[in-house]
Amino acid sequence: MSRMSGLFDLSGVVAVVTGSSRGIGLGIARALLGQGASVVVNGHPADETAATVAELSGEFPGRVVGRPGDITDPEVAEGLVAAAVREFGGLDHLVCNAGIDVIKPAVEYTPDEWDRILAVNLRGAFLPAQAAARYWIAHERQGSVTMTSSIAGQIGIPTLAPYAASKGGINQLVRTLAAEWASHGIRVNAVAPGYVANIMDSVTAHDDPASDQRISTFTPLGRRATVDEIAAPYAFLAAPAAAYVTGAVLPVDGGYTAT
């Protein structure tokens, strides 16, 4: 058998994906399932999560369960790990993808908007990662975490102050946890998407043709990504092919941050 065979196979892998009831998170869940993984789907709305589980179960029977809830709640984060262990016998990989955004000038944000964005995007990534690491360390098991960052965590984009702050925090959280948990065999990485054809729920600032033209001009590949193009690198980071990758923030942005 070739040494390269099976490097991208996720058969037998158990994963949790937060914020996976729609959008990029749903694409990530589908990508992991497509490579053979079993997945715990998490979204905040219970009805939306249930609908997503029903949809994915039709494609991947027996390999999908759902656990809705607010990822800023430590009991929800711990419950996701418990659900993976209960339903599938363990946990191998965690994707911290849940995120929200409000686009407006920095002078107009309210303290509540700031706090909520930082809570979901940063606290909501740390809590499930912490819960997963506690499980892996206690059971002397290896594991991996992939967080969702953004080009906004690396470059300045006006009207994204709290979102950008949260994603810059994700980048440094990834590096810190990767260094701290490496001795336990736990890898921690991030994917930093650029502009995607899928817009976050309630975000309408980039609907106008002028904005699309600006994005096309400043993205060397000349277009937005599809959800599948963003999701595929998450499957790579969960796979044996990425066994020596940790502490990385992988740009998946069509070259936007390279120029």
CATH number at residue 232: 3.40.50.720
* pLDDT at res. 212: 81
> Is 73 a domain residue?
yes
Q: Residue 169: is its pLDDT beyond 50?
A: yes
> Is 90 a domain residue?
yes
- The question of whether 163 is a catalytic residue gets the answer yes
This prediction has a pTM of 0.94
Whether the CB-CB separation of 153 and 168 falls below 8 Å is answered with: yes
| pLDDT digit string, tens, across residues 15-34 | 999 999 999 999 999 999 99
> Is 8 a domain residue?
no
Which structural domain range is residue 120 located in? 14-258
Whether the CB-CB separation of 121 and 134 falls below 8 Å is answered with: no
> Is 226 a domain residue?
yes
Could you tell me the pLDDT band of residue 72, with boundaries at 50, 70 and 90?
very high
CA angle 139, 42, 155 (to 5 degrees): 95
Could you tell me the pLDDT band of residue 43, with boundaries at 50, 70 and 90?
very high
Distance CA 125, CA 77 (A): 9
Structure tokens at 234: 């998450």
Distance CA 205, CA 102 (A): 10
Q: Residue 38: is its pLDDT beyond 80?
A: yes
- Counted domains in the chain: 1
- Annotated catalytic residue within 109, 135, 163, 256: 163
Q: Using the structure block, give the residue that is written with the tokens 């984009």.
A: 157
